[in-house]
Structure 1
Amino acid sequence: MKPTTALLISTYNWTEALTVVLTSVLKQTVLVDEILIADDGSLSETKLIIEEFKKLSSVPIIHFWQEDKGFRKSKILNKAIIGSNVDYIIQVDGDCILHPKFVEDHLASLEKGIYLYGSRVNILPNFVSKVLKQKITYFTIFSKEIKNKTRTIHFRFLANFSKSHYSISSKFRGCNVSFWKSDFIAVNGYNEDYEGWGREDSDLVIRMGNNGIKAKRLRYTGIVYHIYHKINSKHNFELNDKIQNQTIENKVTFIKNGVDKYI
């Protein structure tokens, strides 16, 4: 049977970016069964944008919100994923515009025992205001708004040569990843000990790898376009890095402070 799927988008107080991202979602060649928005405490403007897109979308858009108490992305992602009614999760950040075949690419490559991670093309800082104002969602190798231009080449035949592997890749980015919900629950989801920017996404897939799940890179497919912004505060990064190092050294699979509290 065909698995049910959800597109999970994390966001926080950037309605201009979220508007363009959701616009790209509605232009997908293949639709998911649910669109989940994990909101780490945005103001009411974000809710208003989401309500407008609910009217335009042919599939349910479900808004998960929590009070703003600092960067608690792991917690809201856990709540959103466990609140979904699907088998498979495709996850992006709310500052990443989707290639029209983004969902189609992830679904074409999914298989049991594997999580997928894809490429990120960066939108140049000088063109961010133009992209947001004009709601640009389509780019080619000739687009002046982007760098890493070869990463925007879409060629599924070449993607067939990508091999699965166990260790986490240096190319992995949490803004473009997909996995089976059952594999997520098996490692107890995101570790909510992570507060502040950094490492929560890589820690998750490292634990999946420790639990026997392989990784596979989507090359020339599964493309997102990252909207440039200032780097988030890294005030807690040293502690987060320490937690991840413990995950690696101790080959951790199941963490204590995870998603099971919401089941």
Structure 2
Amino acid sequence: MNSSVIITTHNRSYYLDKVLYGYLHQTVKPHQVVIADDGSTDDTPEVIQKYQQLADFPIVHAWHPFGGMPQISKVRNAATRQCTGEYLIYTDGDCIPGPMFVADHERLAKPGFFTQGRRNFLRYKAFDSFRGTENAWQLFKHWLSGGLTKVHLLMRIPGLAVRSQKMKGIRGCNIAAWRSDVDVINGWNEEFVGFWCEDSEFVTRLMRTGVKRQNALYSAILFHMEHEKFVNQEDFDRNFALWEKSKTGPIYIENGMMPPPRPQPISLETVASATPMKKAA
């Protein structure tokens, strides 16, 4: 299986450095990593270039101009267009993968399903010492010291998943789906701006095509680094309305990964051939 990992980021090069280090140390390497960069102006390019030289798999920098507000859907679409893998693993630039992260997602992958992975939370206090390559005992010590928040996710049991028809717990920072299924819905809805509901809308349209949801139980785990939280009620209300619309609206959206086809000009010959001939008097 060829899997492409799509990582969204914006001006968090310190976080991205830790994330890419994690993909460098996977037991099963991704076929490709694509950085969905929402117009970073810090030293993100230098971090990416460093890992491009170190990695034995392609790392693509899919940079998109910043539009003044976060454009997560737009940059995910831009990155997806550059993916060559048949299986897509969507994640974020503040999520360090465990060493079996890619292997777990590939093991769980099966036709007709997408996978919702899990996340543990990494506190600021553990940033300097945490690498993502820790063994079970080292992870437990991080939990004991308050660096990690979920002790039950320190255990790994590969291959276990449970089906769900609910929307609760959808997290765009850890979703894997087949490229062919993403193409059917035309990817992510670029009407979304900000940080709310774009993942739920994406999954709603995906499930309306018949793709089923499965939740990883004790595998496909990320370590989500603590950061400041952005709360914008206007963004939430607008995006929530877009999500509601997706429950009955078009599954294949126009404002998505591929633009709508341009109308073809009609020749005079075509118009003439389509005009009914008048009967002779």
The equivalent position to 1:136 in structure 2, one of 92, 116, 131, is 131
Correspondence for 2:258: 260
- Code of the residue aligned with 1:124 in structure 2: it is R
Contact in 2 for aligned 1:140/1:152 (Cα 8 Å): yes
- For 1:111 and 1:251, the matched residues in 2 are separated by 27
- CA positional deviation for 1:201: 1.1
- CA positional deviation for 1:233: 4.1
Output aligned runs, 1:30-49, within 5 Å.
Answer: 30-49=28-47
Correspondence for 2:11: 13
Contact in 1 for aligned 2:38/2:66 (Cα 8 Å): yes
Output aligned runs, 1:45-124, within 5 Å.
Answer: 45-69=43-67, 70-124=69-123
Deviation string, structure 1 residues 28-69 (Cα, Å, up to 9, x no partner): 000111110000010141001100110000001000011111
Helix, strand or coil for the counterpart of 1:62?
Answer: strand
Contact in 1 for aligned 2:22/2:99 (Cα 8 Å): yes
Report the count of equivalent residues.
252
Contact in 2 for aligned 1:5/1:34 (Cα 8 Å): yes
- For 1:23 and 1:10, the matched residues in 2 are separated by 15
Contact in 2 for aligned 1:141/1:153 (Cα 8 Å): no
Helix, strand or coil for the counterpart of 1:259?
Answer: coil
TM-score by length of 2: 0.85
- For 1:109 and 1:171, the matched residues in 2 are separated by 18
Q: Select the structure of larger CA radius of gyration.
A: 2
- Code of the residue aligned with 2:203 in structure 1: it is V
- For 1:122 and 1:86, the matched residues in 2 are separated by 28
Correspondence for 2:192: 194
**Structure 1 stretches lacking a partner, 5+ long:** none
Cα distance 1:154–1:27, how it changes in 2: closer, same or farther (>3 A)? same
- Code of the residue aligned with 1:55 in structure 2: it is Q
- CA positional deviation for 1:82: 1.4
- CA positional deviation for 1:168: 3.6
Deviates more, 1:133-142 or 1:251-260: 133-142
- CA positional deviation for 1:245: 1.1
Contact in 1 for aligned 2:73/2:190 (Cα 8 Å): yes
- CA positional deviation for 1:252: 4.1
Cα distance 1:135–1:153, how it changes in 2: closer, same or farther (>3 A)? closer
Output aligned runs, 1:206-221, within 5 Å.
Answer: 206-221=204-219
TM-score by length of 1: 0.91
Helix, strand or coil for the counterpart of 2:106?
Answer: helix
- For 2:15 and 2:259, the matched residues in 1 are separated by 32
Helix, strand or coil for the counterpart of 2:176?
Answer: strand
Correspondence for 1:240: 239
Deviation string, structure 1 residues 93-129 (Cα, Å, up to 9, x no partner): 100011110000000110001000111101124x1xx
- For 2:193 and 2:48, the matched residues in 1 are separated by 25
Contact in 1 for aligned 2:114/2:212 (Cα 8 Å): yes
Identity, % of aligned positions: 28
